[in-house]
């Protein structure tokens, strides 16, 4: 499940990922709202919080995530990834150079610090 966090405002967007993400999470929730905000704001500062119940992606959702991310590499000034399994941090570090903005990873217990960075 993907939810937009209450702290989101303007170009500062936070999403919470929980459970196993599906194609519908991307096509019905995440992508339409991000596209609307991009149209209004131009660029985003995005925080992705993978909570303790996060269980990864189904195959379609993984494809959606990859294709959307690669299609919007210049649309994010800041991208913070909070929580999730260790391998996600490694992937972010390995592929982070593809994004035009700054990318940082944070452990689960540093959600507030990540928000301060994204919104700062």
Distance CA 116, CA 110 (A): 10
User: Cα 2 vs. chain centroid, distance in angstroms?
Assistant: 10
pLDDT given at position 81:
93
- At 104 the pLDDT is 93
Burial 55-73 (b: 16+ CB within 10 A, else e): eebeeebeebbeebeeebe
What's the rounded Cα separation, in Å, for the pair 30 and 25? 6
Structure tokens at 115: 């928000």
Q: Where are the domains of the chain?
A: 2-119
CB-neighbour burial class of residue 42 (10 A; exposed 0-12, middle 13-18, buried 19+)? exposed
> Looking at the domain that runs over 2-119, which CATH code has it been given?
3.30.750.24
Confidence of residue 92 (pLDDT cuts 50, 70, 90): confident
Q: Is 49 helix (H, G, I), strand (E, B) or coil?
A: strand
Q: What is the pTM of this model?
A: 0.91
29-63, pLDDT tens digit by residue?
999 999 999 999 999 999 999 999 999 999 999 99
């Amino acid at each position: 499940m993907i939810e937009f966090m209450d702290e989101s405002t303007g170009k500062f967007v936070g999403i919470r990922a929980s459970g196993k993400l599906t194609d519908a999470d991307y096509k019905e929730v995440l992508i339409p709202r991000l596209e609307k905000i991009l149209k209004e704001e131009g660029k985003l500062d995005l925080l992705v919080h993978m909570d303790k119940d996060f269980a990864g992606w189904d195959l379609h959702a993984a494809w959606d995530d990859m294709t959307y991310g690669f299609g919007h590499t210049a649309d994010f000034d800041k991208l913070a990834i909070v929580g999730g399994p260790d391998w996600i941090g490694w992937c972010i570090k390995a592929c982070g150079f593809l994004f035009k903005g700054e990318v940082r990873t944070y452990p689960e217990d540093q959600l507030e610090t990540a928000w301060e960075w994204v919104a700062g």
